[in-house]
Amino acid sequence: MSVSPCALRPLHLAFALDGPVRRARRGREAYDPEHYVRLARLAERGTLDFVTLGDSFARPGPDALAVLARVAPRTGRIGLVPAVTTTHTEPFHVSTAVNTLDWVSRGRAGWTVEVSRSRAEARLFGRRDAAPADALWREAGEVADVAARLWDSWEDDAEIRDAATGRFVDRDRLHYVDFRGTSFSVRGPSITPRPPQGRPVIVADATTRAAREVAAAHADVALVRAEDPATAGDARADLRERARALGRDPDRLRVLASLPVELYCSGDAVGLADLIGDWHADGACDGFHLRPADPQRDLARLVDGTVPVLQHRCLLRRFYPGATLREHLGLPRPANRYAAARKVSP
C-alpha cells in the first residue's frame, strides 16, 4: 500500500466567522477585534483555506473588510474574505479597498461579492431605490469586472525607479480601464499598484439564479447552498458549463458547498468528517464553506475534531503548501490582461 495516498483532488475548507443573524452580533464581541483574531488564528491552526465575514449596511455589525484588515497582521496564512456589497458603493473604492486588503495580508485577500436588495439599505443612502435582484447582480458583475481591470491597470513591473530618466514608474505599463457599465463608468488607472496575488480571490454565493451567471463569469470560488450531494453536484456542473461557455477554464473555478453546521459534541465533528468525505467522494464539490450556529464553539469542534479525522483520511492538508490564498486554492496567479495585450501589439 502506498505511503502517500493523499487526495488527488484537494479538499478546500472555509468557515464563516459570523453566526446567523438571530445571534445578531449585538453582543460586545461583534465589535471586539480580538474576538475575530482568536477565531482566525484557530482556523489557521486547522489549515483552513479561508474565513469569510458577511456584511450588510442594515444589520448590526462593523465593516467586514476593515475587521479582516485588523486581523491580517495577527495571522500568517489563513485567507481573509469579507463581503463587500456593490449596490451603494463606489466601484473604484471597492477595488482599492480589496486590493489594499491583499497588500496588508501579503496575498491572502478575497472578496465575497454581495448586493444590497432591501429598501432599508436604499434609504440609508437616499440615492436610488431598491431594485430587482437581476439588475443588482448584473451591476455586481460589472463591479467585479471593473475591479479586476483596475487591479490589472498597473502591470506588476510598472514601478521602475529609474534614476537616470527620473521616472518612478513606466507610464506605458499603467492603463486606463475606460469602463462603461450600465450604471457607472470608471476611467482608471487604479491608484493602488497591482496586489500580491495579481487579483484577490473573488467569491460569490451562486445559489440563486440571479447570482449564478455572475459567479460563472467572475468568481474564483462559487458557494452553493445545497442540502444533498446531488444538488451540489448539479450546481457545480452547471457552473462549470457556464464558465466554459464564457470562455473560462472551468478548472479555475472552485465550487464549495455552503452548509450550516452545529457541532455540539465530538461525535458531531466526526459525523461532519464522514459527510465531507462522502460528498467529496461523489465529486459533488471542490470543498466546503461551513456556516456555524455558534462560530466560537463550532470552529473549535471543527479544528479539534473534524480536521484531524480528515487529515487522517488523507482528505485534508496538514500544512499550508504556500503563502497566498490563491496557492491554498490551487489557483494560478492571473496574467495581467494589459501586459499581454501590450506584448501582442507592438
Partner 1 sequence: MHLAAHFPGVNNTTVWTGDPVGSQIDFASFEHLARTAERGRFDFFFLAEGLRLREHKGRIHDLDVMGRPEAITVLSALAAVTDRLGLAATVSATFNEPYELARRLSTLDHLSGGRAAWNVVTTSDAFTGENFRRGGFLDRADRYVRAAEFVATARALWDSWPADGTARPVAHQGPHFTVRGEFTLPRSPQGHPVIIQAGDSAEGRDFAAATADVIFTRHSTLAAGQEFYADVKGRLPAHGRDADSLKIMPGVTFVLGDTAADAQERAATIRREQVSPQNALVALEQVWGVDLSAYDPDGPLPDFDPVPDPELAQGRVRIGDPKAVADRWRALSEAKGLSIRETVIETTGRQSFVGTPAAVAEEMTAFVAARAADGFILVPHLTPGGLDDFVDRVVPLLQERGVLRTEYEGVTLRSHLGLPEPARPAGKG
Binding site for partner 1 (CB under 8 A): 31, 33, 37, 56-63, 65-67, 69-74, 88-93, 96-97, 99-101, 103-106, 120-121, 123-127, 154, 159, 161, 163, 165-171, 174, 183-189, 191-193
User: CA-CA distance, 170 to 187, in Å (whole number)?
Assistant: 19
Pick from 6, 13, 5: which is nearest to 254 by CA? 13
Nearer to partner 1, 5 or 166 (CB): 166
Is 55 annotated for ligand binding? yes
Nearer to partner 1, 63 or 262 (CB): 63
Whole-angstrom distance, CA of residue 107 vs CA of residue 51: 14
Alpha-carbon radius of gyration of the chain: 20
User: For residues 332 and 328, what is the distance between their CA atoms, to the nearest angstrom?
Assistant: 10
Distance of closest approach, residue 149 Cβ to partner 1, in angstroms: 12
How many residues appear in the chain? 346
Q: Which residue, 225 or 342, is less far from partner 1 as judged by CB?
A: 342
- Residue 228 C-alpha cell reads as 444533498
What is d(CA 113, CA 337) in angstroms, rounded to the nearest whole number?
21
- Minimum gap (Å) between residue 14 Cβ and partner 1: 21
CB of 95 to partner 1, least distance (A): 9
Task: Identify whether 82 is preceded by a cis peptide bond (ω within 30 of 0).
Answer: no
Nearer CB in complex with partner 1: 22/187: 187
In this structure, what is the dihedral angle of CA atoms 296, 297, 299, 300, given to the nearest 10 degrees?
Answer: 110
Q: How far is the CB of 28 from partner 1 (least distance, A)?
A: 9
Q: Give the separation between CA 225 and CA 289, rounded to whole angstroms.
A: 9
Rank residues 35 and 280 by Cβ distance to partner 1 and give the closer one. Answer: 35
CB of 185 to partner 1, least distance (A): 8
Residue list for the binding site: 55
What residues form the annotated binding site for FMN? Answer: 55
